[in-house]
Structure formats: structure tokens, C-alpha cells
């Protein structure tokens, strides 16, 4: 029996993906996992210190740990029409990213890397948990918010408006899906183990899709105050064909993201391949 520590977020897409795996509803073939749920920025930091055997990670953070981890081809968050948004109060008809106070969900998030690729002049950032950003705008703490996860479905309820869709910008610039987060595994495991883990994550997704009502209590438990309609939108947007397998298009998107960020000095170069 090979026991692996597994980290993922309490967001509906991750709890949907890993529900069957952690509840042993699929044959694990000699694998055993000990799950730890935490927000992605915390998981990013844990990967930096090598605490997790397998973990969800922002692609931005993955750029810094390519020497220790490989990317698995299943379980990730890539897609089209699902990118981070910049939002502001109704009075903001124009924005100046070089001067405005921008609330961001973490310096290692892929959202922040995309924002810096869009405009490298950004310097006045305020880091806070992603679920505090919308309130921070109404409280006058920040001028602009960089929002991710379920906030993209709820920002209008806060009286805010979209000023930039970074996903649309990325898709027009590259023609590729937006690489947000992936599942990584320590390099020191045998390839047979990593391939088996990829397949088990894929089977876990397929199980949840075949039994969509079954994971709901588990998802709702960790989604806290998110209502059912937002949960459904969240899963529908972030769990897609790239979650089953990153495929050539998704692989190209990740490699291009890293190449562009390396050229601009936003991430370190690495001699290690992503897989």
C-alpha cells in the first residue's frame, strides 16, 4: 500500500473532482490518500516546503517548484471563459493599473501572473483572501479587485462592475485555454505511481459525473455559504475536458504561459520539464 498526502481546495470544482477518490468509491489499486483541504494560496506555500506528495497548485506557483514536482495530466483547472476578472465600483469609468490600489488573492496565484503579463507596471497591490476582495472594494480599502473562483458569479450583487476580463485577453492573445491551476506530484515517485494517480483522478471525475447528486453534501459542507446555483455554475465552468486530460492544447497553454513569464522575468527559468 502506497499512502500519499493529497492537498486540494474546498472550492466546489476540487471537492467534486476528488470526492470519489477520497471516499474510496473507485478501486485504488494499492493507493491510499490522506487529504488536506486548504485554500490554494496555502497549498502553494506547502508545495514550496515540500509538505505534500500531491497537491493542487496555481500554475504561477508551480513555476517555482518544477525541480521538485511534475504536473499530472488530470484534475487541473484550465478552460475558456473562466479567467480572472478585474472589478470596481460603479463610479470607476477608467482605471490606471500603475496607480490604483488593486486587491489580489495572492502573489502566487495564476490570476496575479496573468495581470502582470497584461500590465507589468502594477505595483500598488493589497494581498487578501479571495473571498474578502469584494467587500474591500465597497469599504474603500482597494480601488480595483482581482477576483477568482465563485466571486466571478457574485460580484454584481455587491454593486460592482467588470472593468477587464483577463481570460478574454489571454484567449485573444494566445488562442489557448486559460491555465489556472493543476495537480502536481513529487518527482521522486516511480512513473507507474504517477500514471496510476492520473488515472484515479480521472476515474474520480467520471464517477462524480455519473452520480452528480451523490457528492453534493460533501461539496456543500466545504463550500460554506455558497448557494446551489453558484455551486453548479462553478463546477460547470472549472471541471471540463481539460480536467480529465490536459491534452495538447492545455499543455501548449501552460508551456506558453511559462515561456512568456520567463521572458519578462516574472518567474525563474527551469531546466526541468513540466511532466
Active site residues: 149
C-alpha of 262 from chain center: 20
Which residues in 166-244 belong to E strands, given as ranges? 178-186
Report DSSP state, residue 33: E
How many other C-beta atoms lie within 10 A of the C-beta of residue 179?
31
Contact 184, 57 (CB under 8 A): yes
Contact 226, 149 (CB under 8 A): no
Q: Distance between CA atoms of 10 and 15, rounded to whole angstroms?
A: 6
**Which positions ≥6 away from 12 have C-beta within 8 Å?**
150, 219, 223, 226, 231, 234, 235, 238
Cα atoms in the 13 Å half-sphere on the side-chain side of 171: 14
Amino acid at each position: 500500500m502506497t499512502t500519499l498526502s493529497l492537498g486540494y481546495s474546498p472550492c466546489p470544482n476540487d471537492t467534486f473532482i476528488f470526492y470519489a477518490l477520497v471516499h474510496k468509491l473507485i478501486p485504488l489499486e494499492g493507493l491510499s490518500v490522506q487529504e488536506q483541504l486548504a485554500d490554494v494560496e496555502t497549498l502553494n506555500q506547502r508545495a514550496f516546503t515540500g509538505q505534500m506528495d500531491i497537491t493542487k497548485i496555481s500554475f504561477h506557483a508551480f513555476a517555482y517548484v518544477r525541480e521538485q514536482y511534475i504536473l499530472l495530466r488530470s484534475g487541473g483547472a484550465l478552460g475558456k471563459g473562466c479567467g480572472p476578472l478585474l472589478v470596481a465600483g460603479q463610479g470607476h469609468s477608467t482605471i490606471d493599473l500603475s496607480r490604483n490600489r488593486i486587491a489580489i488573492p495572492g502573489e502566487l496565484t495564476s490570476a496575479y501572473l496573468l495581470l502582470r503579463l497584461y500590465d507589468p507596471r502594477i505595483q500598488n497591490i493589497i494581498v487578501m483572501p479571495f473571498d474578502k476582495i469584494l467587500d474591500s472594494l465597497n469599504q474603500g480599502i482597494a480601488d480595483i479587485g482581482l477576483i477568482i473562483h465563485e466571486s466571478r458569479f457574485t460580484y454584481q450583487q455587491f454593486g460592482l462592475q467588470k472593468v477587464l476580463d483577463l481570460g478574454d485577453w489571454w484567449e485573444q492573445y494566445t488562442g489557448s485555454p486559460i491555465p489556472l491551476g493543476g495537480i502536481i506530484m513529487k518527482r521522486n515517485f516511480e512513473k507507474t505511481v504517477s500514471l496510476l494517480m492520473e488515472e484515479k483522478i480521472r476515474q474520480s471525475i467520471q464517477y462524480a459525473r455519473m452520480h452528480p447528486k451523490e457528492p453534493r453534501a460533501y461539496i456543500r459542507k466545504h463550500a460554506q455559504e455558497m448557494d446551489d446555483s453558484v455551486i453548479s455554475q462553478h463546477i460547470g465552468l472549472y471541471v471540463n475536458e481539460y480536467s480529465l486530460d490536459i491534452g495538447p492544447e492545455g499543455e501548449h497553454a501552460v508551456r506558453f504561459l511559462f515561456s512568456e513569464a520567463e521572458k519578462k522575468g516574472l518567474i525563474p527559468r527551469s531546466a526541468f520539464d513540466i511532466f
